[in-house]
Amino acid sequence: MDTLTHGLAGSVLARSLTDRPGARAALSIGLVAAMLPDLDIVFLADRLAYLRYHRGWTHSFVVLPLFSLVVALLARLIFRRAKLVTLWIFAAVGIGSHILFDWITSFGTMFFFPLSHRRYSLDWIFILDPIFAGILGVTLAGAALFRARGRAIAVAGTATLALYVAFCAAQHARALRAWKNVDRPPAGARVAALPQFLSPFRWLGLTDRPEAVHVGFFDVGPFATGAANPQPPRRWSEILKSLSDFYPPPERLVIRRFPQPPPSPALETARARSDVEAYLQFARFPRATVRAAPGGETVIVWEDLRFLPWFAGPWEMDARGTLRRRPFLYRVRLDAAGRTLESAVVSSFGFR
């Protein structure tokens, strides 16, 4: 979830806890506390550290009580008449809402860091959801305009938001069933249906099989169309227009298969690196490509296919040579003797 939406959510939820007409403390502390967890990126030295630790310390229920106390103590300098326990509750609601609303996305949140590095994700809502943010924005505006009924409005907005999240959860269950019915994953395979941009009906199905990762974009909504030969957008202005073309109903979805490379000494050498291991712990659906380079070098690139865009291939140029997509790639370059020449996160996204 984006940081601003988190702030709106924390403010609405904290406002729903108090009957005071102004409720400046609730609104302010809920807003700030709910945005603070994303400040962890300030303390992450590089992109690999981001993949390792983002949504870690500041997104942990283990750390939440202490984190909330620090926020409450600082807030006490401004709201001197408020009880410390009240300020702590507002801060805990804000931080807790951030953790829970990251949980419903697909990135993965380390609830119990540092006791565990396991990431939890429900895959219900896309990381940028205008409907989710819109409910919060309207609620806050209503509470500001009708201050005497601010708490009732905040409670109503919270209930509306809960209903929307429940609706998205139901669509996720439908999408996951539809994907399994089409792809027929083998027992024990990792399978997911991931939410997509601007609609609770659009999904990306993924199955991690031993020989390949299966991928399919589809729409479980009543107005799904899809195109027989969808064309990728050539410029930013065409992206929204292309959405309906690339998301057919489940019965017409096209399964794309991205094969995994065969075992090789170079691949095993790269996998043994601690940084590559850290990347693969983050990636839920990693796919590697192995290529020979001049001078006997070998280049290995991993990509997490859950970030695959609807309009292009994985990390390479598409067939028309017009689009490039490189989210959260990890590249290792080895010389002829297997020594590492380069090992780094590569991330870019642009048009040519």
Say if residue 316's pLDDT is above 90.
no
Stated pTM of the model: 0.88
- Measured in whole angstroms, the distance separating CA 21 from the mean position of its chain's CA atoms is 36
Residue 325: predicted pLDDT: 53
**Confidence band (pLDDT; 50, 70, 90) for 351?**
very low
Q: What number is the average pLDDT over the span 185-198?
A: 94
**Confidence band (pLDDT; 50, 70, 90) for 201?**
very high
Degrees, nearest 5: CA angle 168-120-105: 35
**Confidence band (pLDDT; 50, 70, 90) for 327?**
low
Residue 313: predicted pLDDT: 47
Residues 300, 332: Cα–Cα separation, whole Å:
5
Residues 81, 76: Cα–Cα separation, whole Å:
8
Residue 106: predicted pLDDT: 95
Q: What number is the average pLDDT over the span 64-72?
A: 96
**Confidence band (pLDDT; 50, 70, 90) for 65?**
very high
Higher-confidence residue of 321 and 93: namely 93
**Confidence band (pLDDT; 50, 70, 90) for 238?**
confident
Two structure tokens written together for 100: 């829970």
Say if residue 259's pLDDT is above 70.
yes
Lowest mean pLDDT among 128-142, 238-252, 263-277: 238-252
Residue 322: predicted pLDDT: 41
Number of Cα atoms under 13 Å in the Cβ half of residue 28 = 12
* 203: β partners: 195, 218
Q: What number is the average pLDDT over the span 50-74?
A: 94
**Confidence band (pLDDT; 50, 70, 90) for 346?**
confident
Angstrom distances, CA of residue 315 to CA of 193, 202, 207, 326, 333: 20, 22, 18, 5, 16
Phi and psi at residue 149, to the nearest 5°:
-110, 25
Phi and psi at residue 334, to the nearest 5°:
-115, 145
Say if residue 324's pLDDT is above 60.
no
Residue 133: predicted pLDDT: 96
Q: What number is the average pLDDT over the span 281-292?
A: 92
Q: What number is the average pLDDT over the span 20-38?
A: 87
Q: 323-334 and 340-351: which strand pairing?
A: antiparallel
Residue pair 152/196 in contact by the 8 Å Cβ criterion: no
Q: What number is the average pLDDT over the span 71-92?
A: 93
Say if residue 269's pLDDT is above 60.
yes
**Confidence band (pLDDT; 50, 70, 90) for 244?**
confident
Q: Is the peptide bond before 114 cis (omega within 30 degrees of 0)?
A: yes
Say if residue 230's pLDDT is above 80.
yes
Say if residue 352's pLDDT is above 50.
no
Residue 326: predicted pLDDT: 57
CA quadruple 78, 82, 84, 85: dihedral, nearest 10: -140
Per-residue three-class SS string for the chain: CCHHHHHHHHHHHHHCCCCCCCCHHHHHHHHHHHHHHHHHHHHCCCHHHHHHHCCCHHHCCCCHHHHHHHHHHHHHCCCCCCCHHHHHHHHHHHHHHHHHHHHCCCCCECCCCCCCCCCECCCCCCCCCHHHHHHHHHHHHHHHHCHHHHHHHHHHHHHHHHHHHHHHHHHHHHHHHHHHHHHCCCCCCEEEEEEECCEEEEEEEEEECCCEEEEEEEECCCCCCCCCCCCCCCCHHHHHHHHHHHCCCHHHCCCEEEECCCCCHHHHHHHCCHHHHHHHHHCCCEEEEEEEEHHHEEEEEEEEHHHCCCCCCCCCCCCCCCEEEEEEEEEEEECCCCCEEEEEEEEEEEEC
Angstrom distances, CA of residue 233 to CA of 9, 226, 351: 34, 15, 10
**Confidence band (pLDDT; 50, 70, 90) for 318?**
very low
Q: Percent of the chain beyond pLDDT 70?
A: 93
Residues 254, 245: Cα–Cα separation, whole Å:
12
Say if residue 287's pLDDT is above 80.
yes
